[in-house]
Amino acid sequence: MANTQTDIADLKMIRESARALASRFDLEYWREHDEEKKYPWDFINAFAEGGWMGTMIPEAYGGMGLGLEAASIMLQEVAYYGGANGASAIHFYIFPPGCIINHGSEEMKKRFLPGIASGKTVMCFGLTEPTAGVDTSRLTTKAEKIDGGWKINGQKVWITNAQNAHMVLLTARTSPRDPKNPMDGFTLFLADFDRTAIDARAIPKLARNAVDSNELFIKDLIVSDDRVIGEVGKGMSYLFDGLNPERVVVAYEQIGLGRRALELATEYAKNRVVFDRPIGKNQAIQHPLADSWMRLEAAQMMSDKAAQLFDQGKPCGAESNAAKYLATEAAFEVCDRAMQTHGGFCYAKEYHIERLWREARLLKIAPVSQEMVLNFIAQKILRLPKSY
């Protein structure tokens, strides 16, 4: 893989530019969009105009051609100001195109990447199914060969962005499950989001409500042969290639969100006076916050290591998984501590903490659960027997 490392001065500039743009959308903007379940179009358009949707798309296809560390830093600033709502609105322009860039045909890249880079094409990613769980070998959405293409039938769940998506990166079985090679036989399609064949029903959910997540009912979706990414039957291996960068990106996002919660809690602890003194004078308030600062910084170091290894084209499975795990633990914990620091006011939406707390919780489950990260480290790094 090509070296896409960005030098430190450029990374600093990227952080400052992303911060300047993200800070135009304040906490009130996100509270309102979350509460009213309003898609943040003006925020997306502002980032699209700045060219940020194509951060990792090569320049030849209309993008910036930058690496993972650069994209992660941009998304960390987005998450600091906009939490998970802001991050997930942009995330889908950054993550799914990786499969097209690395495995798509030249024609596919020329035809579709410029639209994604400009922000005009909204993408979603359709992997999860209601009956398979984290055992993705059990996915049952099926693509059947027809003349010139494929006919797809099945059901997906939790598909984020589907209400507005123009295209879906869709995984379907093209041959039956072979117990000896259960991950073989899946094909990855870059399908148009044809609403005559896909019924997308938004799921009422706990958090991140500015960006929808949906059940998809797919009935006779026709996809032409030229929309197959790479080779038929190898889709899952292409997706696995993209998992490490996604884990790194979400780790940076979580740290951004966690730092915002820490800052809000620290300010509140300085200003809230009880027993004639600021509550921040109590060690029971200040120690957990100090501990969280250290945990966020440690998670940042692991995330930086993972991003840099990826950009150097080196293996980064352990570091990417560890970054996602550590960032998620640190971010949820600091949000919870920020709740405690705010006392009863943590329940009031105007303080924004409850929203960040709800948002941080998701990353313990998705895009990969903490348990599956521990399984990976135990099995692949410690060489312990597979536990499931």
Ligand X SMILES: Cc1cc2nc3c(=O)[nH]c(=O)nc-3n(C[C@H](O)[C@H](O)[C@H](O)COP(=O)(O)OP(=O)(O)OC[C@H]3O[C@@H](n4cnc5c(N)ncnc54)[C@H](O)[C@@H]3O)c2cc1C
Residues at the contact surface with ligand X, assessed by CB under 6 A:
125-128, 133-134, 158-160, 205, 213, 362, 365-367, 369, 371-372, 375, 388
**Within 10 A of 265 (CB to CB), how many other CB atoms are there?**
26
CB of 191 to ligand X, least distance (A): 14
| Distance between CA atoms of residues 333 and 293, nearest Å | 11
Question: Which DSSP state fits 377?
Answer: I
Handedness of CA 240, 210, 326, 139 (dihedral sign): negative
What 3-state class would DSSP assign to 124? strand
Least distance between ligand X and beta carbon 279 (Å): 33
- Crossing angle between the packed helical segments 283-311 and 235-271, to the nearest 10 degrees: 150
Distance separating alpha carbons of residues 229 and 352, to the nearest angstrom? 41
- Which CB, 46 or 365, lies closer to ligand X? 365
In the complex, the smallest distance separating the C-beta of residue 165 from ligand X, rounded to whole angstroms, is 10
Taking the complex as a whole, the smallest distance from the CB of residue 133 to ligand X amounts, in Å, to 3
Query: How near is the Cβ of 102 to ligand X at its closest, in Å?
Result: 19
Beta bridge partners of 151: 144, 222
Q: Which is nearer to ligand X, 160 or 308 (CB)?
A: 160
The residue (of 195 and 277) whose beta carbon lies closer to ligand X is: 195
- Residue placing its CB nearer to ligand X in the complex, 132 or 318: 132
CA angle 379, 384, 385 (to 5 degrees): 90
The least CB distance from residue 366 to ligand X, in Å, is: 4
C-beta closer to ligand X: residue 121 or 369 = 369
Of 191 and 279, CB closest to ligand X: 191
Distance between CA atoms of residues 213 and 17, nearest Å? 29
Tokens (6 digits) for 199: 């019924």
3-class DSSP state of 363 = coil
CA 343, CA 337: separation in Å to the nearest integer?
10
Residue number, nearest CB to ligand X: 133
Q: Which residues contact 191 (CB under 8 A, 6 or more apart)?
A: 152, 167, 168, 170, 221, 223, 227
In the complex, least distance from residue 282 CB atom to ligand X, rounded to whole angstroms? 35
Looking at the Cβ atoms of 69 and 359, the one nearer to ligand X is 359
DSSP 64: -
Cβ-based nearer residue to ligand X, 8 or 382: 382
Give the nearest distance from C-beta 106 to ligand X in angstroms.
Answer: 27
Q: How far is the CB of 204 from ligand X (least distance, A)?
A: 11
**Closer of 137 and 369 to ligand X (Cβ):** 369
CA distance 112 to 346: 44
Indicate the burial class of 207 (C-beta count within 10 angstroms; 0-12, 13-18, 19 or more). middle
CA distance 388 to 383: 14
